[in-house]
A and B are shown apart, each in its own frame.
Chain A
Amino acid sequence: DGGITQSPKYLFRKEGQNVTLSCEQNLNHDAMYWYRQDPGQGLRLIYYSQIVNDFQKGDIAEGYSVSREKKESFPLTVTSAQKNPTAFYLCASRRLAGVAETQYFGPGTRLLVL
């Protein structure tokens, strides 16, 4: 089955700790995205990547970092600099073939602060 997997489903972060959220896709998509969703809010873009070893900041990149060493993987690290990390994090991917291509989303990771 082709799709996007995110792990873990729930993640707990202690004060001052960095944590990494995993995102893997087997759809052979070029572009990958990370979004943050807060209650009652729409999704906000954190980082995105079109090709391996290249990525761009989105609207709320401060306190986050990413890497794109493989086409199928786009992990997100929430650093200790992110003071309010509690949220639902969604990863997505997309072909870059044209304007009619939709984004496919993973099931999400909920991050909670202890």
Chain B
Amino acid sequence: KQEVTQIPAALSVPEGENLVLNCSFTDSAIYNLQWFRQDPGKGLTSLLLIQSSQREQTSGRLNASLDKSSGRSTLYIAASQPGDSATYLCAVTRGSTLGRLYFGRGTQLTVWP
């Protein structure tokens, strides 16, 4: 069974810091890995998707890397802003086109001015 772990569970930093969020998964037979953002009481918004054949993806101040062999991914947030405050969830997909996602518990990020 696929287990996804995220470290740290919570993070509080001042504005402007560069951040690293970590995600690990137990079964390296994944098709892709995704990072989502969730604001309190809201649904999820996809941030980045890395296919299993890729090493990283970038979108603006966000960069996600994937090391499938070691079962790890990191989400790097550059120059953090208060608007980045949210919970960040990592999820992996196993199986072909079924698209099942296995989620970690998330990292709750607070960026203070």
Contacts and interface: CB of A to CB of B under 8 A. Distances in A.
Bound pair (A, B): yes
Interface stretch (A11-19, A73-81, A102-110): A102-110
- Which among B4, B31, B52, B99 has the greatest number of chain A C-beta atoms within 10 A? B99
A45 B100 contact: yes
B26 interface: no
B99 A106 contact: no
Contacts of B41: 88, 108, 110
A84 interface: no
Given A42-B4, A42-B104, A43-B89, A100 B42 contact: no
Given A31-B99, A40-B105, A99 B31 contact: yes
Chain A interface size, under 10 / 10 to 19 / 20 to 34 / 35 or more: 20 to 34
Contacts, number: 70
Interface string A43-74: 11100101000000010000000000000000
Nearest to A107: B43
Nearest to B52: A99
A50 B49 CA distance: 21
A77 B32 CA distance: 30
Given A98-B97, A100-B49, A43 B103 contact: yes
A81 B98 CA distance: 28
B43 A96 contact: no
B89 A104 contact: no
B44 interface: yes
Interface of B: 4, 9, 31-32, 34, 36, 41-46, 49, 51-52, 89, 91, 93, 96-101, 103-106
Interface of A: 4, 31, 33, 35, 40-45, 48, 50, 58, 88, 90, 92, 94, 96, 98-108, 110
